[in-house]
Amino acid sequence: MSLRATMFSGFSSFYNSIWFGLSVIAVVFVLIAVADTPDDFGGPFPVIEKELCVNPILQRTKDRCIEDHPEMFSEEDRLKGPSTGSDPLPFDVKHMVRVASTVLDSNSMVKASLPVLDDKNLYGL
């Protein structure tokens, strides 16, 4: 057999073995572990450009603009200072939970359509 046929046969048998799958999984885990290391932001950020502070969209950009260029913002924004890190949600969570529980509960529609049984109205009972 030629060298190429021997190499192809060896690679083909490795590709079809369990070790190929384990090797791929090990490489993926190593790549995830390397990519998942925290970034080193220990030092201070550089001063942000004034052009970015004209109409900041992101909250972090606005916070850095207030710190670096306080003259561009109102007194109210300067007194508030940087944000706490979380904006209010754009929807009411309690309402969404109520809607989801109504949709997921199979008896909720039936309960809503049945009349209330009390002492005055027994509806033929």
Tens of pLDDT, residues 24-77: 899 999 988 887 766 666 667 788 888 888 988 888 888 889 888 889 888 888
54 falls within a domain: yes
113 falls within a domain: no
Tell me: do 25 and 47 sit in the same domain: no
Q: Total structural domains in the chain?
A: 2
Residues 6+ apart with CB under 8 A from 64: 45, 48
Residue 76 lies in domain: 41-89
114 falls within a domain: no
* Greatest mean pLDDT range, 15-29, 37-51, 88-102, 108-122: 15-29
Read off the pTM: 0.37
Q: Return d(Cα 84, Cα 55) in angstroms, integer.
A: 20
